[in-house]
Amino acid sequence: MRKIILMMSVSLDGFFETIDRGISWHLVDDELLNHLNGQFRTTGAFMFGRVTHELMAGYWPTAD
């Protein structure tokens, strides 16, 4: 049986995003990207919510 892993970006005080959906407080540096890429290499699929999918849809065609 496969595992389901939930990953959410939230601050310690429960903050997700600003009222205008801003997420500039998310600090993603090379160290975090390297860690996540290592974790995601073994992932069989990703499941996003509607809003995340819509936000990412414009980025995916240009991603390396």
Q: What is the pLDDT of residue 30?
A: 92
Q: Identify the sign of the CA torsion 13, 19, 21, 23.
A: negative
Residue listed under structure tokens 């065609």: 61
Q: What is the pLDDT of residues 2-44, one digit of tens each?
A: 888 777 777 777 777 788 877 777 778 899 889 988 888 888 8
Domain boundaries, the chain: 1-64
* Rounded distance between C-alpha atoms, residue 31 and residue 24, angstroms: 18
Residue listed under structure tokens 């390297």: 34
Q: What is the pLDDT of residues 41-61, one digit of tens each?
A: 888 888 888 888 888 888 889
Q: Is 0.75 surpassed by the pTM of this model?
A: no
